[in-house]
Amino acid sequence: MEILFEDNHIIAVNKKNSDIVQGDKTGDEPLSEKVKSYIKKKYNKPGEVYLGVTHRLDRPVSGAILFARTSKALTRLNEMFLKKEVQKTYWAIVKNRPQKDSDYLEHYIVRDQKKNKSFAYDKEVKNSKLAELSYRLIASADNYYLLEVDLLTGRHHQIRCQLTKIGCPIKGDLKYGFPRSNPDGGISLHSRKIELIHPVKKEKMNVIANPPKDPLWDYFLSILA
């Protein structure tokens, strides 16, 4: 497990695209429990370890995720997420070049609970929620394009859904229209950076996570270095 940042109040981890953040019906050990075990062992803590989940990443998505180590930090982080004071930046590899090299996308998203899938509409429809993001093209390879995405709202499968809506499904994302899965079973969507003011120390923080080891990700990293 790769720890990106750690102090007495918060801990940030680079999530693998096979990890679930919290327990679900699969029964697989969630990342939250792995982090608890890490803290318990490192600090030789007796009894139960406190860990608060502040936000989530879809299981096939990799990258930076933040946990609270105290109830005080969790309360403040929850408030910050609610007030949109935490900036989350993602990287997405897509097969098709978007029509515009940078754009602001606004759609209305409807979540289908049974299919665990969301659908994006250009206009407001029944049970829809406004979804906003902005993206820019930051690199290209022979057959793929790397987009940097700033998430402005936090809807279910939002980036996956909105990029598919503009004809740019994410590499490996079968659920949203990409024809082939990735060898590791994940999708090429990565939580690259979390920017925030530390909830207790009040200092500006940038938590940055490198994408999984993979020839295409390695290539993009090398040209952006």
Containing domain of residue 186, as a range? 2-224
Alpha-carbon distance of 104 to 102, in angstroms, equals: 7
Query: Helices in the chain by DSSP H: which ranges?
Result: 31-42, 71-82, 158-165, 215-224
Which H helix or E strand runs over 151? strand 145-151
Q: What phi and psi, each to the nearest 5 degrees, are found at residue 164?
A: -65, -40
Q: What CATH number corresponds to the domain at position 110?
A: 3.30.2350.10
Query: Helices in 58-157 by DSSP H: which ranges?
Result: 71-82
What would you report as the CA-atom Rg of the chain, rounded to the nearest whole angstrom?
Answer: 18
Please check whether residue 190 is in contact with residue 62, taking contact to mean a CB–CB distance below 8 angstroms: yes
Could you read off the pLDDT of 176-201 as tens digits, one per residue? 999 999 999 999 999 999 999 999 99
**Furthest C-alpha separation in the chain:** 56
- Burial profile 67-97: b = 16 or more Cβ within 10 angstroms, e = fewer: bbbbeebbebbbeebeeeebebbbbbbbbee
Q: What is the mean pLDDT of each run of 10 residues along the chain (225 residues)?
A: 96 95 79 95 90 94 97 96 94 97 98 94 96 98 96 94 97 96 95 97 97 96 91
Alpha-carbon distance of 119 to 121, in angstroms, equals: 7
Could you read off the pLDDT of 18-58 as tens digits, one per residue? 999 976 777 789 999 999 999 999 988 888 999 999 999 99
The count of structural domains within the chain is 1
pTM above 0.85, yes or no: yes
Give the count of beta carbons closer than 10 Å to the beta carbon of residue 4: 18
Alpha-carbon distance of 93 to 141, in angstroms, equals: 10
Tokens, residue 55: 């936000």
Tokens, residue 58: 């879809």
Q: Using the 8-state DSSP alphabet, how is residue 50 labeled?
A: P
| Coil, strand or helix at 76 | helix
Give the angle 109-19-72 at the CA atoms, nearest 5°: 80
